[in-house]
Amino acid sequence: MRLLASVLVLLSSLVALPVAAQQAEITQAPRGTPPLTTDKENLWLLDLSDGGRVTIWLRPDLAPKMVERVKMLTRQHFYDGLDFHRVIDGFMAQGGDPKGDGTGGSTLPNVPAEFSYYPHVRGAVSAARAEDENSANSQFFIVLQPRLSLDRKYTVFGRVVDGMNYVDAIQRGEPPANPTVIQHAYIAADTPPAYTPAPVAVAQPAGLAPVTLPGATTDKAAIKAAPAPK
């Protein structure tokens, strides 16, 4: 009986070996090579109405389809004038919705899920979606504080590498009373101009013309009407 038991144990270990080896192979599978943080084709610039520019390092090695979508919409000036409509203190700032209520998107098809190993740490930029895992489109959120419970449930496609202080200054609310606006979005390879605060119209007493001073604005119509480089 002892001999039979030993044989069975040996056989079971031999059967389990290929499975364990396969799991080890999956765990050790090589990851894609990320672009350099100096690669301008993969630097997404957001000029915010709270006073500065945010630089986001795009990661096509993690989410090639979502990165391609963001680049396409940016070059179409889709994001210019859109606000951060849902901003939760200690969690995240969400934007990219032309409707401004979390239900909108672009006219392009949705982007399938591209979940990866990359965690939702502070500064991570991830694709917002509905219940359907494959419903990402144009909306995104920037993580304010680590939220690892979102890992492998949302598509991380970049991370803030400069200007996180401007992300921290985004107005809170669902929606905010005075939302922070994306004045312009650019891909750094397109040689955008330096950040310039949009003009602010200052009301004057009756009979006097309005005075325009430099400064940030949240007037979406004015931002949309402002010229942007092609």
Contact 28, 20 (CB under 8 A): no
| 138 in any annotated domain | yes
Whether residue 121 lies inside any domain: the answer is: yes
More confident residue, 76 or 219: 76
For residue 74, being part of any structural domain is answered with yes
Q: Whole domain around residue 107: which residue ranges?
A: 41-195+218-225
- Asked if the model's pLDDT at residue 24 lies above 60, the reply is no
107-148 tens-digit pLDDT: 999 999 999 999 999 999 999 999 999 999 999 999 999 999
Q: Is 226 left (phi over 0), alpha (psi -120 to 50) or beta?
A: beta
How far apart are alpha carbons 144 and 115 in whole angstroms?
20
Tell whether 16 is covered by a domain. Answer: no
* 135 in any annotated domain: yes
57 within 8 A of 41, measured Cβ to Cβ: no
Which pLDDT value is given to residue 21?
40
**What is the arithmetic mean of pLDDT over 42-48?**
98
Please report whether residue 69 resides in a domain.
Answer: yes
11: in domain: no
CATH of the domain at 116: 2.40.100.10
H/E element, 156: strand 156-162
Q: How far apart are CA 167 and CA 184, in angstroms?
A: 15
**pLDDT at position 1, please?**
46
Contact 97, 104 (CB under 8 A): yes
The answer, as to whether pTM is greater than 0.85, is no
Q: Count structural domains, the chain.
A: 1
In a domain, 185, yes or no: yes
Supply the pLDDT for residue 229: 41
pLDDT surpasses 70 at 7: no
